[in-house]
C-alpha cells in the first residue's frame, strides 16, 4: 500500500476535485490511499505556488507522512524543478502513460509533476486516468525491459547516494527558508491532520513545529 499525496498549485486549483476523483478511482482498488493537500479551489484561502508545492512535497516525503506525491502546474515544469530542488525527492515530468510507466519501472521515483493546462484538452481526463494506472499498477523499479532491472536499480541507488551529498538536511533547509513561504506551504488543514500523526523524522518534525508554532 502506498500513501499518495496530491498537491495542486494556484493556477490549476479549479481542477483539484477532478484530479483527486480520478486518482482515487484509479488507485483505491489497487490498495493505495490518497491524501488531498489542496488547493481545493481557486477561492481556497490557502494558496500554493509551485515553489510551495516543492516545499510541501519535500516535507511530506522526508517525514514519511506519504510515500509518493502527485503534483503539477500549468506546464508541469515549475513544479518538477521545485520538487527536485529538495533532498529525498525524485520527481519526473510526466505527460503520457508511457512516461508514467517508464518513470516508475526505470527511475523508481517518488514524485511526479504533470502539466494540467498545456495540451490538457479533449480527452485530458482519460490521459490522466491512464497515467495513474501505469504509474501505480506495479511496484516501482521493475525495470524496462525486464533484463535491465538490475543495472537500472543500481543507477537509482547511485543517484540516491549522489543526492545525499549534493543536498543538505531537510530540517535545516526548512529552518533557513523564508518563514512566511514555508508557513504558507504547510498551512493546509489536511497537512496538520496527517503530518503530525505520521511523521517519523524527528528533525523534520522539530523544524515544522518551530516554524508553525
Written as tens digits, the pLDDT of the chain (213 aa) is 999 999 999 999 999 999 999 999 999 999 999 999 999 999 998 999 999 999 999 999 999 999 999 999 999 999 999 999 999 999 999 999 999 999 999 999 999 999 999 999 999 999 999 999 999 999 999 999 988 999 999 999 999 999 999 999 999 999 999 999 999 999 999 999 999 999 999 999 999 999 998
Complete edge-to-edge strand list for the sheet that includes strand 33-36? 33-36, 3-6, 68-73, 111-115, 91-93
Taking the whole predicted model, whether its pTM rises above 0.85 is answered as yes
Please count the structural domains in the chain. Answer: 1
Domain of residue 81, CATH code: 3.40.1400.10
Q: What is the pLDDT of residue 31?
A: 97
Q: What is the pLDDT of residue 79?
A: 98
Q: What is the pLDDT of residue 153?
A: 93
Q: What is the pLDDT of residue 213?
A: 85
Q: What is the pLDDT of residue 28?
A: 97
Instruction: Print the domain residue range for 17.
Output: 3-212
Amino acid at each position: 500500500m502506498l500513501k499518495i499525496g496530491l498537491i495542486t498549485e494556484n493556477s490549476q486549483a479549479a481542477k483539484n476535485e477532478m484530479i483527486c476523483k480520478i486518482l482515487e478511482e484509479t488507485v483505491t482498488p489497487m490498495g493505495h490511499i490518497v491524501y488531498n493537500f489542496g488547493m481545493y479551489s481557486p477561492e481556497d484561502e490557502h494558496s500554493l505556488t509551485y515553489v510551495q508545492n516543492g516545499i510541501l512535497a519535500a516535507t511530506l516525503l522526508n517525514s514519511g507522512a506519504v510515500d509518493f506525491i502527485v503534483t503539477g502546474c500549468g506546464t508541469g515544469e515549475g513544479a518538477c524543478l521545485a520538487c527536485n530542488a529538495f533532498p529525498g525527492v525524485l520527481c519526473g515530468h510526466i505527460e503520457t502513460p508511457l512516461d508514467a510507466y517508464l518513470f516508475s519501472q526505470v527511475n523508481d521515483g517518488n514524485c511526479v509533476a504533470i502539466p494540467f493546462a498545456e495540451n490538457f484538452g479533449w480527452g485530458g481526463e482519460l490521459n490522466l486516468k491512464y497515467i495513474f494506472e501505469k504509474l501505480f499498477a506495479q511496484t516501482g523499479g521493475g525495470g524496462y525491459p525486464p533484463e535491465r532491472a538490475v543495472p537500472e536499480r543500481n543507477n537509482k541507488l547511485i543517484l540516491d547516494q549522489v543526492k545525499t551529498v549534493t543536498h543538505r538536511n531537510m530540517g535545516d533547509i526548512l529552518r533557513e527558508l523564508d518563514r512566511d513561504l514555508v508557513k504558507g506551504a504547510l498551512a493546509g488543514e489536511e497537512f496538520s491532520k496527517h503530518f503530525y500523526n505520521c511523521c517519523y523524522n524527528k528533525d523534520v518534525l522539530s523544524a515544522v513545529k518551530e516554524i508553525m508554532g
